[in-house]
Structures are given as C-alpha cells and as structure tokens.
Amino acid sequence: MALGKKTLGIFIIVIIAASLSSGVVGYYIAPRGAGTEEAYQEGYQKGFADGKYPNGVLKVAVLGPMTGALASEGEAMRMGAEWAVEEINALGGICGYKLELVVGDTEDFEPAKVTALIEKMINEEKVAAIFCGYGSQALVEYDVCAKYNMLYFIGADWMAHQDKWAQYPEKYKTCFNLVPSYMPYRYHFPETFDRWVREGKLQIINNKVAIIYSDNYYSSWIAEGLKENFIRLGYTISLWEMVPFGTVTEWGPILAKIRADPPAVIINTDYIPSNEAAFVEQFLEAPTNSHMFIQYGPSTPEFVQLLGKKSTGIYYNSPSITIYTPGNKPGNELLQRGIKRFGSEPPGYTFTTYQEVWIYKQGCEIAHEYYGADPKKPEDRLIIAQTIREKTAWWGTYGLMVFDETNCLSAKYAVPTIYQLWEGQRFCVEPAEFANADPRMPPWWH
C-alpha cells in the first residue's frame, strides 16, 4: 500500500499540548486535517487497555556499545529505550501489541560485527524496529536495514548518513537520524571565539591553534572544518596531531609539544569522554595560557564526574539547541522527568533513544489508523516510515524536531549552541538569546 501525495499534502504540523495521566507530557505534535486529529486520538485511546494486549508481543531492539570504552554511552541508550517501552506498555502498547525490548552490543563498532548484529535482530529475534545512539562509523547497517525494510533510528554520524543518501537517493527510506546538520561543528566555535576576542570578552596570547583528533570520520571531519575556519579567520595551526581511535590514556608527548609552543586555543575532537578527561587532567599538571575546546565529551555526565571542578573553563558545543539549554522549555521538562526517574541527570543518549521509541509509536498508530498498517508485517514498514517522515514532528531535546528529505532532523530548526563548564555546572554562553552566562577566562590562566 502506498501513501498518496495528495492525501499527505492536506496535513499540517500542530503542537499537542496535552498531558497524560501516566506522566507522558505533550512533546508530540500530531498532524491535523481531514479528521486526522480525531483518528489519531481514537487510535491513541485504544492504547489505554489496562494492560491488555490483544495482538500479543511486538519485539523491538536497542543497540549500543554495551562493552568497551564507550559502555557508558551504550548504557544510556538502553536506559532511554527501556524508559519509553515501560511508559508505552503502561498505556497499552502499540496498536494492541505489548513491546518487548531486546538489547544488542555493537562492541567496538567493527562493521562486520554491526552487520551481523543487525542480521541477528532481524532474522532471529524478529524485531519490528531498531533504536540506536550510533552504530558503525560508515553506517554499514543501513544497507542491511534497506534490504529488509527495517525501521532503524540513530542519533549521530550525520556525515555518513548524508553520504549514503547522496550515493543512493531514497534507498534508505526506513532509516531515520535524530540529529540535524553537523556543519556548525566546523565553523560555529571558530567564528564565535574570534568574535569574543574582538569584543574584548576574552584575551589570547597569540593567534595559534593546536588541534588533536582521532582516527575516525566524526573526529577528523570536525577537526578539518575547525582547521579551515580558524585559518580563514587569520589564525595559524601550530599543532595538527592524530591519535588512534579507541582508549588513549597517555597524552604526555602531545602535551609536551603544546607546552613547547603554547597556542591561544587547544582543541581536542577525540570525543571519547574518558580520553578527553585524561587529556584535561594531564594538561592541568602544567597548563599553558590557552583556552580549551573539547568535542562532545564535556556534554556527558561521565566527563564531569571524572574531572569534577577540574572541568571548569572547558568549552564544548552542539549543532542545535539541546535539552540542557536555558529557554528550551519542552526539553527542560523532559530533562526534569529524566532526573526524577533516574535520580540524577541522565546522559544525552538516554533522551535520544527515548524519543526514537516514542516517534516509532506515533508513526505506527497513525499509519495503522489511516492505512491499515500492522507494525508486525515487514511489508508495512515502508508505510510506517513514510508516515513518520511526512506526517509527524515533535518537541524534544532539539526543540522543534522535523525530518528533512533525507530523514535527518531539519537544519532549518537547529540553533547552534556553545557551553562552558564551571565548577561542574554547564552554562550556555552562545547564542545570546539562550545564554545564562558570558564566556570566562579559564582558571588555569596565570
């Protein structure tokens, strides 16, 4: 069964501001028009079956690095999916099915292992959808999912996602990415930092920049962009150093080069929180008068827990407004619900997989009500995917979340943000409309 463009065209996006008795608040936006709201609510009300699931069990999977250097990230992904599954089952499941969550370990992201894991989930576990924070660097799993029309949700690797779509337009119709464009990672910090210097908000000792990155697509692609844009703004690159991807505990040789030729800015895009925490701790043994920008790691609770107040002064960013940004009220409400559930602030990927499961639920219910789609039928997954892509949007960690033509969140709604850690707390320092602090000179400056 296919969805008609004319039929889809009559729907527009609106915000559902309803609160449900289970505590699931209105982050979701249902499409309206031609009775859609009534049909959606009717389908949703069918979920309140007091624990009765007339259609049986529907298996879904959450995948992540449950072991290895990034095991804390995998645990966050599992937490989010379990949270959503429990809430959804309390409401009667999806289309009369009770969700059963299967957990898979992507281990070290080696492509063959990830491919085998996806095949296992599809052919042995018989799952109807797969949720993930990130899989293989090259997203080899997309080809397996395309083969079986498997619904697959991730929240990372924007570059690899775009590469896939550029090579085979529309082949990966069932693969969705909960990140907007990563392009701001390449230019936003250089441009903002340079403006702060010109405005007199920050001092610098020279115009040199030291950049360290790891041997993987995410880290190197961002590092290349930072290098290009700092050069464009008149800075020189005093250090350009690559480390192997994986656990790195000894940063002494690289720090010796930095101390021999101190730069205005030190950048590390390695992104593994424990690696970056070790880098900062070893830097602080004999710091230079340099500002420090660290990619991704400082956004995780693990990084701050490892360093405590030693994380003070570190900058990091996001390509969009996030759940932690002042002024993102729906995102902050979701954050508070997460804190209440887990007893402390959950990692970012907890919210990623949480939202993925809820997006899947909404897509299934609308597709079921309007097109008779059954989540358990492989042939109906394309109908559910098209429904998710063309008929839904929602509020969450990024504010307004809408898929674009390549099944990524639309950059149109993204707001790049920069944060600075101070005594274990994060402060938004850019953009001005969301900032709750000004950038400050690092405490190690002497």
The tally of domains found in the chain comes to: 2
Q: Are residues 369 and 289 part of one domain? A: no
pLDDT tens per residue, range 191-242: 999 999 999 999 999 999 999 999 999 999 999 999 999 999 999 999 999 9
Those residues of the chain that have pLDDT short of 50 are: 1-40, 43-44, 47-49
Q: Are residues 343 and 217 part of one domain? A: no
Q: Are residues 121 and 63 part of one domain? A: yes
Q: Are residues 224 and 167 part of one domain? A: no
Examine residue 233 and state whether it is found in any structural domain, yes or no.
yes
Q: Are residues 338 and 276 part of one domain? A: no
Q: Are residues 120 and 226 part of one domain? A: no
Q: Which residues lie closer than 8 Å to 245 by C-beta, 6 or more apart? A: 214, 215, 216, 219
Examine residue 129 and state whether it is found in any structural domain, yes or no.
yes
Q: Are residues 203 and 62 part of one domain? A: no
Q: Are residues 97 and 21 part of one domain? A: yes
pLDDT tens per residue, range 365-380: 999 999 999 999 999 9
Can you give the pLDDT at residue 26? 32
Examine residue 137 and state whether it is found in any structural domain, yes or no.
yes
CATH number, domain with residue 191: 3.40.50.2300
Q: Are residues 303 and 225 part of one domain? A: yes
Q: Are residues 23 and 115 part of one domain? A: yes
Can you give the pLDDT at residue 18? 30
Can you give the pLDDT at residue 383? 97
Q: Are residues 278 and 425 part of one domain? A: yes
Examine residue 444 and state whether it is found in any structural domain, yes or no.
no
Q: Which domain holds residue 18?
A: 5-182+327-413
Can you give the pLDDT at residue 50? 53
Can you give the pLDDT at residue 391? 75
Q: Are residues 170 and 188 part of one domain? A: no
Examine residue 389 and state whether it is found in any structural domain, yes or no.
yes
Examine residue 55 and state whether it is found in any structural domain, yes or no.
yes
pTM of the model: 0.87
